[in-house]
Amino acid sequence: MKRTLSASEQRTLRWGAIALGAYLLLFLGLRGVAYLGQRQAEYRRVSQEARDLALKLEVYQARAERVQKSMETFKLDPARLTNSVIVAQAGAELQRLGLGGGVVLGSLRETVNRGSEPELGSIQLEGSGPTASIMGFLHQLRGCGFPLVIDSVQITSEPSRPGALKLSLSILVLDFDRWTEKGVPRG
């Protein structure tokens, strides 16, 4: 036997169901909002990390491109560099600078060091040219791409050509790794 509910009991049940539904909706809604907020914060953090990594990657790509360009410009392959090759390439670069700057270079004597010295070798050269060309050549030595140190310079006038100078130069080619370890600035 079923008992029927009176109108006031039905109304009480309806209000109870509405109150229970509202409570569950509010409780679950707040938990859902908190969960979604937490997920959104996590997404923002991960997305910021991705942007930071992309910036770092761009910096490293730019560095790699500069190194590749330098390797192509100076025709350097780090895997094949030995002391004698570096000294020879530095000598070739000095000859190229002399030709480009109007300095006539004579003999070039290259000496490779064998030992624990911070120098890979030395280069002695002689040349002649106008005053401006000689001074320009000496200035260009700083940016030639090799760690060079001028050990001695002798500049004299050339009696056979008025306005021309004769240059005797002794240059040390430093070991780049040891040179940078000691805190000597590059370039």
Q: How far apart are the first and last CA of the chain?
A: 103
Burial of 120 (0-12, 13-18, 19+ CB in 10 A): buried
Q: Which residues pair with 127 in a beta bridge?
A: 105, 167
From residue 98, how far is each of 21, 140, 164 by CA, in Å?
91, 9, 15
- Domain locations along the chain: 7-74, 76-181
| Beta-strand relationship, 119-130 and 148-157 | unpaired
Question: Which superfamily does CATH assign the domain made up of 76-181 to?
Answer: Ribosomal protein S6/Translation elongation factor EF1B (3.30.70.60)
Q: Which tokens go with 72? A: 């192509």
Query: Is 66 within 8 Å of 109 (Cβ atoms)?
Result: no
From the list 174, 128, 136, 172, the residue with the least C-alpha distance to 154 is: 128
Place of tokens 């401006």: 132
Name every residue whose Cβ is closer than 8 Å to that of residue 112 and which is 6 or more positions away in sequence: 83, 84, 87, 120, 121
Render each residue's pLDDT in the chain as its tens digit; 187 residues. Answer: 678 888 888 899 999 999 999 998 888 888 888 899 999 999 999 999 999 999 999 999 998 898 888 878 866 666 666 667 778 888 888 888 888 888 888 888 888 876 666 778 888 999 898 888 888 888 888 878 777 888 899 999 888 888 888 989 998 888 766 655 555 444 4
Q: How many CB atoms lie within 10 A of CB 145?
A: 13
Query: Is 90 within 8 Å of 173 (Cβ atoms)?
Result: yes
- Tell me the pTM: 0.52
